[in-house]
Amino acid sequence: MEGRIPLLGERFPEIEVKTTHGVKKLPDDFKGKWFILFSHPADFTPVCTTEFVAFQKRYDQFKELNTELIGLSIDQVFSHIKWIEWIKDKLNVEIKFPIIADDTGEVSKQLGLIHPGKGTNTVRAVFIVDPEGIIRAILYYPQELGRNMDEILRMIKGFQVSDREGVAIPANWPENELIKDEVIIPPAADIKTAEERLKQYDCFDWWFCHKKV
């Protein structure tokens, strides 16, 4: 349905997009990898420029986590290219990830990215998609607030640990106020398991056990 924001746990919609790296098919071109699709309101704007520099500065860290980046706005490809050139010339940062040119607005409408109070501009959205093409997280920011890329990195790390270990990730991990860099064991579903948990792990109580990874 046009304009509906996809839901967590749904497969990312199959979309063919024009990018600064040529035509790509989402999510299939990233199969086997995590990817982060992030939209920005417009090229040649200050907050968006700071965001692109911040993403690029961490691009190697994302790649180490088997994660690719792909940007999006309603600008045309030539605008993206000129903006990338400007960032390289003026700020000495080379943007190495692709940017979707959604000049028709069709992709933004399909993903629910059009800001209702800002004409045709896209919101600052972030979609975190896993190697199976499943949407794992969605973040939305207003135009006036730039994103925190370290939090997005933390989310990728947290998802990967959670998937691998079958655990939950506490607040502010890996610097949680109660259990530091440890992770949370899923709550027991029966009395016997609850009693065993207290012997197996460090616990505040049977429903709050944690361990190192």
Domain layout of the chain by residue ranges: 15-147, 166-213
* Domain 166-213, CATH homologous superfamily name and number: Antioxidant, Horf6; Chain A, domain2 (3.30.1020.10)
76-111 pLDDT, tens per residue? Answer: 999 999 999 999 999 999 999 999 999 888 888 888
Catalytic residue positions, numbered = 48
Give me the helices (H) in 65-182, please: 77-91, 106-111, 149-165
pLDDT tens figures, 148-178: 999 999 999 999 999 999 999 999 999 999 9
In sequence order, the 6+-apart residues with CB closer than 8 A to the CB of 141 are 123, 124, 125, 126, 147
Q: What is the pLDDT of residue 121?
A: 66
Which of these, 3, 15, 48, 13, lies nearest to 129 by C-alpha position? 13
145 within 8 A of 114, measured Cβ to Cβ: no
Report residue 116's pLDDT band, with 50, 70 and 90 as the boundaries.
Answer: low
- Choose the CATH number for 15-147 among 3.40.50.12140, 3.90.1150.10, 3.40.30.10, 3.30.1360.120: 3.40.30.10
